[in-house]
Every structure is written in structure tokens, then in C-alpha cells.
Amino acid sequence: MTLTFTVTDSMLEKVEKWDQCKAVDVSGARFSYTFIPSGIGTVVKVHCFVCNRELDITEDWG
């Protein structure tokens, strides 16, 4: 079984507006993305490793 999760352009725009942190390691990684499938859609959250904040970028369901 294969699951595919998509981050849309509008989701990326939300992350760019929210992001205020600079990467602190050589890889440049700052975020983890969490996808939570449910019966009515998929919840998408972004976690910043630098400031430990979380942003819900789930798009409207329906």
C-alpha cells in the first residue's frame, strides 16, 4: 500500500509567511511536516525545529 501526501502552493505560501527562523545547522533543515489522515480529509501540520512552534496548514475541507 502506498500513501501520497501533497503540500500545495497555497500551503507553502502560509509556511513562508509564518517562517521567521534561520536554520541553525549545515543541512538548512528547519521543519518537519506531519500528515494525519482522517475520514474527512488530511490534517497537515508544520513544526519548526528552531523555535519549536507549530502551524496548521490544513486546507478547507469540503
In Å, what is the CA distance from 54 to each residue of 1, 7, 41, 62? 29, 16, 19, 24
Dig out the grid coordinates for 53 from the structure. 512552534
Answer yes or no: is pLDDT of 62 > 70.
Answer: no
Residue 27: the pLDDT is 77
Distance CA 20, CA 30 (A): 11
Pairwise CA distance, residues 60 & 42, whole Å: 10
- The pTM score is 0.80
Q: pLDDT tens across 15-50, in order?
A: 999 998 887 777 777 899 999 988 888 999 999 988
